[in-house]
Amino acid sequence: MKPKFGTRRARSEPHPLEATTVWKEYQRAKKHQAAKTVSSRLKIAGIALAVLAVVGIVAAVLLLRPGEPKEQTIPLDAKARSEFVDAQRAKLTEEERRLLTRFLARVEAQESAGGSVPKMTVAAAIERQRAYDSEVGGAQKLIQERLEATRSILGVNLREQAVVKSDKSPSGKSLRYVLEIANRSKRTIDAMGLRVEFRDPSGKYVAAIPTLELKGPLLAGEAIRNVQLLPLAPKYHQYILDGGAVQISAYPTQISYADGEKVDAEQELKRLESLARAKIE
């Protein structure tokens, strides 16, 4: 049995404040805030996409661009090395170019002597040469200081040089010269070492005696004459045997006093020679 009265459909009732101005302003503000939120979210999403795009471009540039000049490895082959260095010079400072040039000169000398070529970057080569120059400069400064000290103590002059006959020489001839040595100090010298160099008029080396050792005692203020002979061998001294002009110089490198004290420039000279012969690895 159907109900006497039909079911009544619910009817939406207006909000009591709907017709008021306050309510209308509230609704407009609500819609504006919703639109503003959507706009902000879209703007943030756009910024994020732009950032990702920039990061992608930067990463691609970093992957595709060639390495920095100083980070590149110097080729081992001589021709390739020369071409590579010529291409890199414009990208280096003047100081770096000079350092690299000196380093490569040492590498080429090592290679010519049968040694291996080290594998390293341009930056490493420049820093290696800078350290080498600093060490050599320090050794040279010490040598200069000690040579000045030995020269102030001992005065050395050369006299009466001449080529003479000699039974102890491969050529049957020797270069004779006289050393005049004076002790300028107020102490007795027990032993000394002299470096003697023989050069042609242009200054080119003809021969050298790295350390000529002489025994004392040489008293304070005393002067002596010492006769020396340089045996002449055709293999090494043909210039002198042929009558070439020779200039002889000598300077003290070691002095040992009778009380045991020493002034030694020879040690630093050997250190400098050791640096020049050191293998580049």
Residue 33 binned pLDDT confidence (cut-offs 50, 70, 90) = low
Say if residue 273 is in the same domain as residue 208.
Answer: yes
Q: Is residue 23 part of a domain?
A: no
Q: What is the model's pLDDT at position 21?
A: 55
Q: What is the mean pLDDT of residues 9-25?
A: 49
Say if residue 129 is in the same domain as residue 167.
Answer: no
Q: What is the model's pLDDT at position 118?
A: 85
**Exposed/middle/buried for residue 269 (C-beta within 10 Å: 0-12, 13-18, 19+):** buried
User: Which 3 state secondary structure label does DSSP give 154?
Assistant: strand
Q: What is the model's pLDDT at position 55?
A: 46
The residue out of 149, 164, 196 marking a domain boundary is 149
pTM, 2 dp: 0.56
Q: What is the model's pLDDT at position 91?
A: 83
Give bridge partners of residue 181 from the DSSP assignment.
156, 224
By mean pLDDT, which of 40-44, 57-61, 229-233 is the weakest?
A: 57-61
Say if residue 163 is in the same domain as residue 251.
Answer: yes
Say if residue 270 is in the same domain as residue 202.
Answer: yes
The residue out of 128, 149, 170 marking a domain boundary is 149
Q: Residue 246: is its pLDDT beyond 80?
A: yes
Q: What is the mean pLDDT of residues 67-81?
A: 72
pLDDT in tens, 123-169: 888 899 999 999 888 888 888 888 888 888 999 999 989 999 988 88
Residue-range definition of the domain harbouring residue 106: 71-149
CA atoms within 13 A on the CB side of 180: 5
Which segments of 90-242 are extended strands (E)? 154-165, 173-183, 189-199, 205-218, 223-231
Q: Is residue 239 part of a domain?
A: yes
